[in-house]
Structure 1
Amino acid sequence: LISGHRRSEVRRLRALARAPRDADERGHHEEERGAERASAAALRPVLAAALARLSAAERELLLLVAWADLSYEEAAEALKIPIGTVRSRLHRVRAKLRRHLDLSEENV
């Protein structure tokens, strides 16, 4: 059941990476926020592809800290791993994402 969920998650991220942007995400709204939305919309497929390349454990840790806004201590407790492991894994995951995003920008 868990492995099925993780495969589905990766498929969703890959599909999001391939999905075309709709008109609402192209920045047709107010001037200031429109530019931010357009930048975020352009990055979304690339970021989804980068997230799909991470292992489930890497993605889970990154999303706990970046999206759920957990501290390193809280993430360590939630995952039942030492805080030093959280720090080192996050460092490696962020480096992987940076490399993938840099490569993607060169191909655009």
Structure 2
Amino acid sequence: MPLPLSKRRLRAAWIVAVAVDAIQIPVEATGLLGWIVGAGLDVVTMAVLWALVGFHWAFLPSFLTEWIPYLDYAPLWTLAVLIATRGRGQDSMPAPTLPPHP
């Protein structure tokens, strides 16, 4: 089972994913230069999310499909963070229970 993440890391991962998806849609619509900038942004995003959340398989399809023209208009980084962080908050982990005293 993956380790729980702090609220700060979860919040940072969500902010990065949503911001990158919001930036990429208008930037990549500008043509070849926008695609190059978007590709560089994808490499940086992959590294940052990996540092914040740790390795998760959901990041690989998002990274690869962002390189396909017109498919990159979907908010794939946000979807990947949703999948990678699902149930990993510290509050979602059950508290350890102690055995009853006799």
TM range (shorter): 0.3 to 0.5
**Largest Rg, 1 or 2:** 2
Greater RCO, 1 or 2 (C-alpha within 8 Å, sep 6+): 2
Task: Please give the TM-score of this superposition, normalised by the length of structure 1.
Answer: 0.31
Task: Please give the TM-score of this superposition, normalised by the length of structure 2.
Answer: 0.32
Structure with greater helix percent: 1
